[in-house]
Amino acid sequence: MAKKIQAVRGMRDILPDQTPLWQFVENTVRRVFQSYAYREIRTPIPEMTELFKRSIGEVTDIVEKEMYTFEDRNGDSLTLRPEGTAGCVRACMENGLLHNQVQRLWYLGPMFRHERPQKGRYRQFQQIGLETYGMSGPDIDLEVILVTARLWRELGIPGLELQINTLGTPEERKAYRSRLVDYLQAHRDELDDDSLRRLESNPLRILDSKNPDMASLIAGAPSLMDDLGEESRAHFEVITRGLKAAGVEYVVNTRLVRGLDYYSRTVFEWITDLLGAQGTVCAGGRYDGLVEQLGGRATPAIGFGMGVDRVVAVLEELDQQNSDGDPHAYLVLAGEQVQGPGMVLAESLRNALPG
């Protein structure tokens, strides 16, 4: 008997009775983003592998362990996109959208990471991303976070916790890195294997460890806040004051560093306790150095990514229903003579629907 063909492990079908909730999320996102004058961009699913090595960082888990990478028939190394920011930057550079311009962009599509599947984490997952370019002030950082806060209100999701932090400038991080490495070296015997590997290449990533055995060690690490200059402090204070003025509650988490190498200054995450270990439903931050890192002119930028699978899972946990796909009317056609007129009547009802 031939082996039964099933979906690839970690990838799943979204069935017709599930899609109305997905459409509700996607339509809400479109409406909210448009209200802030963000425009949609669509980029290819496969990109050159080098794009992610140069943007995400070769010593990150994503590049080292999780990417779907293959050679095409020309011998080029291609990768199914594991996140959306790098491809968006590449598209903007290639199509001349950055120099002396301001851009507000968003996208929606599948991303791919070879992780261990569990609730809220799949190897093919749907992500919505928002990116801005050409604005360096804290006002755009605040706007981006306020966009996410409005999304939760429009979607009817209460109880998400906003965690924010600042990573300062590259120069400030360099000073902090030295102090952090000294501290970690003094506790080297308490580091797990991943942390030992990152100690020389990217020690800040150790602060992002999810290993509970290292929680007390991380809690005792030096704070980056102590190395911030006046400008970085002022930038962060504008954001926190703005959030308070807008009535958005937040927690400053000085251990929040995010998992990608390209972040600087503002970083943030929205957290839920409804999905177990996969508690982050939306995360992002400022990445002023990425465009230059990929060969373009230095361009200020900030954005976020939102996992649609996790947002839908939260809505399901809240038992939110959506009836967009339900019929508005039923016609009962009794007998052959009324079949034709009945179909015409059904079409006239459809013609009367708005939009």
pLDDT digits (tens, 9 = 90+) for 241-299: 999 999 999 999 888 876 555 678 899 999 998 877 668 899 999 999 899 989 999 99
Per cent of the chain over pLDDT 90 is: 55
Look at residue 198 in the predicted model and tell me its pLDDT: 81
Tell me the pairing of strands 103-112 and 124-133: antiparallel
Mean pLDDT to the nearest integer, 80-108: 95
pLDDT digits (tens, 9 = 90+) for 161-172: 999 999 888 888
- Three-state SS string over 131-179 comes to EEECCCCHHHHHHHHHHHHHHHHHHCCCCCEEEEEECCCHHHHHHHHHH
Look at residue 346 in the predicted model and tell me its pLDDT: 82
CA distance to 56, 138, 152, 343, per residue, from 263 (Å): 10, 15, 24, 58
Look at residue 324 in the predicted model and tell me its pLDDT: 59
> Model-level pTM?
0.86
pLDDT category at 113 given cuts 50, 70, 90 is: very high
pLDDT category at 354 given cuts 50, 70, 90 is: confident
Which residues are CB-contacts of 64 (< 8 A; sequence separation ≥ 6)?
Answer: 58
Q: Which two tokens stand for residue 121?
A: 């984490």
Pair 55, 67: CB distance under 8 Å: no
**Residue 316 carries which side chain, given as an amino acid letter?**
E
Go through the domains of the chain in sequence order and give each one's CATH number.
19-160+249-350 (3.30.930.10)
* DSSP reduced 3-state for 235: helix
Which residues are CB-contacts of 274 (< 8 A; sequence separation ≥ 6)?
Answer: 313, 314, 317, 318
pLDDT category at 13 given cuts 50, 70, 90 is: very high
* pLDDT(195) > 60: yes
Pair 69, 49: CB distance under 8 Å: yes
Closest Cα to residue 19, out of 326, 336, 342, 244? 326
Q: At what angle do helices 19-35 and 308-317 cross, to 10 degrees?
A: 120
Q: How far apart are CA 200 and CA 182, in angstroms?
A: 11
148: number of Cβ within 10 Å: 21
